[in-house]
Amino acid sequence: MVEVVVFAVAAAACLVGAIGVVLSRNPVHAALMLVMTLFGIAVLFVAQEAHFIAAVQVIVYAGAIVVLFLFVIMLLGVDRAAELSLDALPAQRWTAAAFGLGGAAVLVWLVAAVDRLFKGAKSLALETAGAASAGAGSEPTDYVADVSVLARSLFSDYVYAFELTSLLLIVAVIGTVILARRSYGADQHGADGRRADQHGADQHIDASESASTGTTSEAGR
Amino acid sequence: MTGDPLFADGVDWGDIAVMGVKVGVAFAALLVATMFMIWFERKLISDMQHRIGPNVAGPWGLLQAFADGVKFFFKEDLRPANADPLVFRLAPYISAVTAFVAFAIVPVGGVFADTASSGAGGRQGTVTLFGKETILQVADPPIGILLLLAMSSVAVYGVMLAGWSSGSKYPLIGSVRASAQAISYEAALGMSVVAVVIVSGSLSTQSIVASQAGGVNNWLLLTTGIVPFLVFLISATAELNRPPFDLVEAEQELVGGFHTEYSSIRFALFFLAEFMNVITMSAIMVTLFFGGPAGPVFFGWTWLWPTVWFLAKVLAFLFLFVWFRATLPRLRYDQLMSLGWKVLIPVMLFWLMFLGLVQLSGVQGWNRIWTFIAAAVGFALGWALLAAALRAAKRNSPDVDAEARPAQTAGRS
């Protein structure tokens, strides 16, 4: 009973948030709706006894990623309601609708397939779960086991994937720093870039390109 | 070993009543403590500055905070014309709610015995309320201390949205500063929490406190080697936007920071959240590094002494925060950022690896001396690399200090 209520409330929060992200005209409101969806998913994780994943969901997604979204929205000053009557790419709406419907169809198919799979493999799944809890030597709902199991698989079976992911993140950070770093030898370009922002996207790209070449020459020196 | 023993044998109405009492007492106590914290801070700081401080409302001005609270209720609630109505109303509640929730994981009492020496098994730190065995904290979730990190990262929204939704420039600048500061120092804060978790071996605050039972030598302050505590103290001060890290509300530059446009009860909520966070962070520090409610039990009510010790330790930290405010001048923004990113985070990264190595050597039975030599070599290498990187960065950029100096003369009180 309690589980059904929790699921209903959390799922409703997820759905309302997701629809709100699409329908909000104000980017900040859309980001807040996204936070609502993320919180709903975190509650669903807690309902599944995946406490650690729920905490990470809140800390990383709600606490860091959407905050960065908001930073970008606020600092770029695009926090005005979008003008929807002028559409540069009229075809994108139809394309988006087609892709959305296709995605929904794939999702329904996946759920049905997984459901069929699990109906057949239910006894097997229960068996392995029992074996795992017997191996851990404690009751299966004990949470400490949950974290240590996660850590063990992350740092033993999947250690290469884990390390490669962190390497990828470092590469991304360094790349961002190099692209975003204002080159002090090329202050003129930087100012051009800012002015061009108001004129048009093409000029802006040109200016930032020249600014970035300035950066590379500076770095090469 | 986590979770409340209250619910171990199913849930009945008695359990729900005990839970209700705990939540109600925690809520009320935190509110009253916040009121007294405001009085305490004002009185203490006036003593340090040779002033008298509040002395009109009640004996020694004790009721000043209550009077201010009542006044806030009756003030006009203004909303700027440019403000985003919904978000403007939402932001204060995010701040206040996260401040309350974070306190839920703090064990405020209960006797914790040293399991290693006395051999006592089973649950620690439980008390019996109305014939029900329970723990003296609102909740002991399995994620434990991660709840603090989650709440402090959600609290960023309160500040950020308040600044943005006001539709005014100074709050926006203040909120961008505040959230950048909070995000930067959250990394160092999280890593010092990880040090505690590595040594105590658990995320649950109950288990963390239980692992420190049995005297000062077992306190995580010493067993983690003091560095994590210092990092935690500095980053908590920054996270709380307390002086010397109170750039968020640098009056000379930003009017009042992110809450400039707020008035009446909405402003009171921000104010409340700020002071409540000070109390919560002090309590968390006591829990993580100072044995929580640990202390000698003398006579009479054995269940009361741990709570007394806990409150005394929290009071010491509250005093420390006020002392900081009375003593230290505000940092410049670039100093704040370089302290966070170039000092605290590298130091904490090294210390985490060191603690991991020590733990591993304990498990594997390695030679202690060789372990320390390896750690020292690693530290020297890492420090040399970092120093080289910083020097290279400095060479390639103009003098940042020279650029920031005019801002400093304008920004200091």
Could you read off the pLDDT of B211-244 as tens digits, one per residue?
Answer: 888 777 888 888 888 899 999 999 999 888 888 8
Residue contact B179–A146, C-beta within 8 A = no
Q: How far apart are CA B287 and CA A8, in angstroms?
A: 36
Pick from A26, A67, A143: which is nearest to B160 by CB?
A67
The verdict on residue B374 lying in a domain is no
Tens digits of residue pLDDT in A123-151: 555 555 555 544 444 444 444 457 778 88
The total domain count for chain B is 1
- Cα dist from B252 to A96, B146, B174, B329, B409, whole Å: 50, 36, 12, 14, 11
The verdict on residue B339 lying in a domain is no
Cβ distance B37 to B318 under 8 Å?
yes
Assign B17 a pLDDT band (cuts: 50, 70, 90).
Answer: confident
**Which residues in chain A are contacts of B89 at CB distance < 8 A?**
none
Interaxial angle between packed helices B146-165 and B85-103, expressed in degrees from 0 to 180 and rounded to the nearest 10: 160
Rg for chain B (alpha carbons), in Å?
23
Q: Is A69 on the interface with B (CB under 8 A)?
A: no
User: What tokens were used for B212?
Assistant: 């420190």
Residue contact A67–B141, C-beta within 8 A = no
Residue contact A144–B157, C-beta within 8 A = no
C-alpha triplet B51, B54, B55: angle, nearest 5°: 100
Q: Is A29 on the interface with B (CB under 8 A)?
A: yes
Per DSSP, B57 falls in state S
> What pLDDT was estimated at residue B231?
93
Name the residue among A73, A68, A77 with its Cα closest to residue A173.
A68
The verdict on residue B123 lying in a domain is yes
C-alpha triplet B404, B343, B324: angle, nearest 5°: 75
Residue contact B154–A29, C-beta within 8 A = no
Where does chain A show beta strands of DSSP type E? none
Residue B98 has pLDDT above 60, yes or no: yes
- Whether the bond between B80 and the residue before it is cis, its omega within 30 degrees of 0, is no
Q: How far apart are CA B244 and CA B328, in angstroms?
A: 6
Burial of B398 (0-12, 13-18, 19+ CB in 10 A): exposed
- Cα dist from B246 to B177, B373, B384, whole Å: 10, 40, 32
> What pLDDT was estimated at residue A210?
41
Q: How far apart are CA A1 and CA A162, in angstroms?
A: 39
For the segment B179-203, the average pLDDT, to the nearest whole number, is 87
Residue contact A144–B150, C-beta within 8 A = no
Assign B246 a pLDDT band (cuts: 50, 70, 90).
Answer: confident
The verdict on residue B388 lying in a domain is no
Rg for chain A (alpha carbons), in Å?
24
Pick from A29, A32, A63: which is nearest to B154 by CB?
A63
Residue of B nearest to A217 (CA): B396
Residue of A nearest to B176 (CA): A71
> What pLDDT was estimated at residue A28?
86
Residue contact A63–B150, C-beta within 8 A = yes
Q: Is A32 on the interface with B (CB under 8 A)?
A: yes
Residue A168 has pLDDT above 90, yes or no: yes
What percentage of chain A carries pLDDT values higher than 90?
24
Mean pLDDT estimate for chain B: 81
Minimum mean pLDDT range among A85-89, B2-6, B234-238: B2-6
CB atoms within 10 A of CB A155: 11
Name the residue among B207, B11, B26, B208 with its Cα closest to residue B99.
B26
Contacts of A142 (CB under 8 A, 6+ apart): A136, B1, B2
Q: DSSP labels for B322-341? A: HHHHHHPPPPPHHHHHHIII
**Which residues in chain A are contacts of B180 at CB distance < 8 A?**
71
> Do strands B132-135 and B126-129 pair parallel, antiparallel, or not at all (unpaired)?
antiparallel
Mutate to test the interface with B, among A53, A57, A58 (most CBs of B within 10 A): A58
Pick from B164, B396, B397: which is nearest to A74 by CB?
B164
- Cα dist from B298 to A193, B301, B308, whole Å: 72, 9, 12
For the segment B93-107, the average pLDDT, to the nearest whole number, is 88
> What pLDDT was estimated at residue B272?
87
Cβ distance B279 to B34 under 8 Å?
yes
How far, rounded to the nearest angstrom, does the alpha carbon of residue B188 sit from its chain's CA centroid?
12
For the segment A6-24, the average pLDDT, to the nearest whole number, is 91
Name the residue among A56, A43, A41, A20 with its Cα closest to residue A154.
A56
Per DSSP, A182 falls in state P
The verdict on residue B363 lying in a domain is no
C-alpha triplet B221, B196, A45: angle, nearest 5°: 150
Tens digits of residue pLDDT in B196-205: 988 888 888 8
Minimum mean pLDDT range among A138-152, B329-343, B382-396: A138-152
Mean pLDDT estimate for chain A: 74
Q: Tally DSSP H helices, then E strands, for chain B.
A: 16, 2
Residue with the two structure tokens 């505590």: B229
Pick from A58, A62, A67: which is nearest to B183 by CB?
A67
How far, rounded to the nearest angstrom, does the alpha carbon of residue A50 sit from its chain's CA centroid?
19
**Which residues in chain A are contacts of B172 at CB distance < 8 A?**
74
**Which residues in chain A are contacts of B149 at CB distance < 8 A?**
55, 59, 63
**Facing residues of B132 across strands?**
B129
How far, rounded to the nearest angstrom, does the alpha carbon of residue A31 sit from its chain's CA centroid?
12
For the segment A13-30, the average pLDDT, to the nearest whole number, is 89
Mutate to test the interface with A, among B153, B193, B208, B360 (most CBs of A within 10 A): B153
Instruction: List Cβ<8 Å contacts ≥24 apart for A138-146.
Output: A141/A49, A142/B1, A142/B2, A143/A49, A143/A51, A143/A52, A143/B2, A143/B142, A143/B143, A144/B1, A144/B2, A144/B142, A144/B202, A144/B203, A146/A49, A146/A50, A146/A51, A146/A52, A146/B142
Domains, chain A, ordered by start: 1-79 (1.20.120.1200), 158-221 (no CATH)
Cβ distance B410 to B250 under 8 Å?
no
The verdict on residue B209 lying in a domain is yes
For the segment A52-80, the average pLDDT, to the nearest whole number, is 82
Residue A172 has pLDDT above 90, yes or no: yes
**Which residues in chain A are contacts of B160 at CB distance < 8 A?**
67, 70, 74
Residue of A nearest to B151 (CA): A59
**Dihedral of the CA atoms B126, B128, B129, B134 (nearest 10)?**
30
Q: How far is A45 from chain B (nearest CA, A)?
A: 13
Secondary structure class of B135 (helix, strand, coil): strand
Burial of B149 (0-12, 13-18, 19+ CB in 10 A): buried
Residue contact A63–B156, C-beta within 8 A = yes
Assign A86 a pLDDT band (cuts: 50, 70, 90).
Answer: low
Surface of A (179-208) touching B: CB under 8 A: 184
Q: How far is A70 from chain B (nearest CA, A)?
A: 8
Counted residue by residue, chain B has a size of 413
Q: Is A75 on the interface with B (CB under 8 A)?
A: yes
Q: How far apart are CA B141 and CA A51, in angstroms?
A: 8
Burial letters A106-121, b for 16+ CB under 10 A, else e: eeeeeeeeeeeeeeee
Q: How far apart are CA A209 and CA A207, in angstroms?
A: 5
Assign B297 a pLDDT band (cuts: 50, 70, 90).
Answer: confident
C-alpha triplet B60, B61, B66: angle, nearest 5°: 140
The verdict on residue B287 lying in a domain is yes
Residue of A nearest to B392 (CA): A219
Residue-number span of the structural domain to which B314 is assigned: 5-331
Q: Which helix (H) or strand (E) holds B127?
A: strand B126-129
Residue contact B164–A79, C-beta within 8 A = yes
Q: Is A155 on the interface with B (CB under 8 A)?
A: no
